[in-house]
């Protein structure tokens, strides 16, 4: 019997956000939070009542201690997180000049998480998961992180653990964009569900319309390809084509983290045995909640608050077949 619903792996850093909407040189006070795509998803799933686990490395320093305690306090299993004394915890700064102009500055070179190796990935841990969630961020951190990702994929395939993949491309992290494309496409071929942004789909396939890029990404009949189209919704290509409308948002406060919220919705619905379109609807809902507040995880809902939000929408996430 599977003992954990979702396992994910990747880097989490301490996030500093300016208290004023000014360029960083003119900001004097910052709010301390955490940020990391994979741990965001793990936290989001834990808040909905699922058992999630996060694999990573942190520096044995005050920032690493803060992250470790915070994520564990959210109910995420952190038994596969190592605190090491030979590399620091990464940090980054968010510069929010306006909701439409958010800039992120990373200080993660040679961070603790970048030292992750394939030996750190434990087969028994992957084996007991119902789903393995991966992003394209982790293989960009270092060659050893890339090896660790493909080791996790190998274990997942060996034990028939479905893989849900979000390319989540960070162009600045890759030394070579051709290598980025090759690596992410290889990850995609091993994945059961792919969650790509429209710009990511174009980068990976060279196609400009969502149907063509989804068709190019779909290398097996059993795969489900989801192309996120921002506030308008998302396109699905599986055994049929479908578009699922987004949820209206009166004011976007902070767009960062919306994609992770979307992943939480899709993964949680998959774990519940729901359809892919329903998962996209749930993902759109959570994404719309995340962007209404500052921070990557602050807007992630509990199960009860999500149910209330969905029930209060008059006609949300309508499915449109093509």
Pairing between β-strand 193-197 and β-strand 163-166 as defined by DSSP bridges? parallel
Q: Global pTM?
A: 0.94
Answer yes or no: are the C-beta atoms of 261 and 233 closer than 8 Å.
no
Question: For residue 248, what are its two tokens?
Answer: 């209206």
Percent helix, strand and coil across the chain, each to the nearest 5: 40, 25, 35
Taken as a whole, the chain contains a residue count of: 322
Catalytic residues: 260
Question: What is the side-by-side order of every strand in the sheet holding 30-35?
Answer: 30-35, 13-18, 91-98, 101-107
Examine the pLDDT at 211 and tell me if it is beyond 60.
yes
Identify the pLDDT of residue 132: 99
Question: For residue 165, what are its two tokens?
Answer: 């993949």
The pLDDT confidence band at residue 13, using thresholds 50, 70 and 90, is very high
| Residues contacting 276, CB < 8 A, separation 6+ | 193, 224, 226, 236, 238, 266, 269, 270
Q: pLDDT, tens digit, for every residue of 282-292?
A: 999 999 999 88
Q: pLDDT, tens digit, for every residue of 173-182?
A: 999 999 999 9
Domains of the chain and any CATH numbers: 4-10+38-60+115-321 (3.40.1190.20)
* 3-state helix/strand/coil string of 200-223: HHHHHHCCCCHHHHHHHHCCCCCC
Q: pLDDT, tens digit, for every residue of 70-115?
A: 999 999 999 999 999 999 999 999 888 876 788 889 999 999 999 9
∠283-204-280 over CA atoms, to 5°? 10
Please, what is the average pLDDT of the chain? 93
The pLDDT confidence band at residue 322, using thresholds 50, 70 and 90, is very low
Identify the pLDDT of residue 257: 81
The residue with greater pLDDT, 124 or 97, is 124
Examine the pLDDT at 68 and tell me if it is beyond 60.
yes
């Amino acid at each position: 019997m599977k003992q954990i619903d979702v396992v994910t792996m990747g880097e989490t850093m301490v996030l500093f956000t300016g208290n004023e909407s000014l360029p960083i040189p003119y900001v004097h006070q910052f709010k301390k939070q955490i940020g990391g795509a994979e741990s965001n998803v793990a936290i989001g799933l834990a808040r909905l009542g699922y058992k999630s686990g996060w694999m990573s490395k942190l520096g044995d320093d005050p920032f690493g201690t803060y992250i470790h305690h915070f994520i564990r306090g959210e109910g995420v299993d952190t038994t596969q997180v190592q605190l090491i004394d030979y590399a620091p915890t990464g940090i980054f700064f968010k510069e929010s000049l306006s909701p439409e102009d958010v800039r992120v500055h990373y200080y993660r070179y040679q961070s603790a998480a970048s030292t992750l190796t394939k030996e750190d990935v434990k087969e028994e841990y992957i084996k007991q998961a119902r789903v393995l969630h991966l992003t394209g961020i982790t293989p960009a951190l270092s060659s050893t992180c890339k090896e660790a990702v493909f080791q996790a994929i190998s274990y997942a395939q060996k034990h028939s653990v479905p893989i849900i993949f979000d390319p989540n491309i960070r162009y600045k992290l890759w030394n070579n964009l051709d290598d980025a494309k090759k690596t992410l496409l290889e990850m995609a071929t091993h994945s059961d569900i792919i969650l790509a942004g429209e710009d990511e789909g174009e980068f990976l396939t060279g196609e400009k319309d969502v149907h063509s890029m989804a068709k190019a990404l779909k290398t097996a009949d059993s795969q489900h390809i989801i192309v996120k189209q921002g506030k308008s919704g998302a396109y699905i290509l599986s055994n049929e084509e479908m578009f699922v409308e987004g949820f209206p948002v009166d004011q976007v406060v902070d767009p960062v983290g919306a994609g992770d919220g979307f992943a939480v919705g899709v993964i949680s619905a998959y774990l519940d045995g729901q359809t892919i379109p329903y998962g996209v609807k749930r993902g759109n809902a959570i994404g719309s909640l995340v962007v209404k507040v500052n921070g990557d995880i602050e807007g992630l809902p509990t199960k009860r608050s999500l149910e209330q939000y969905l029930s209060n929408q008059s006609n949300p996430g309508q499915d449109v077949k093509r």
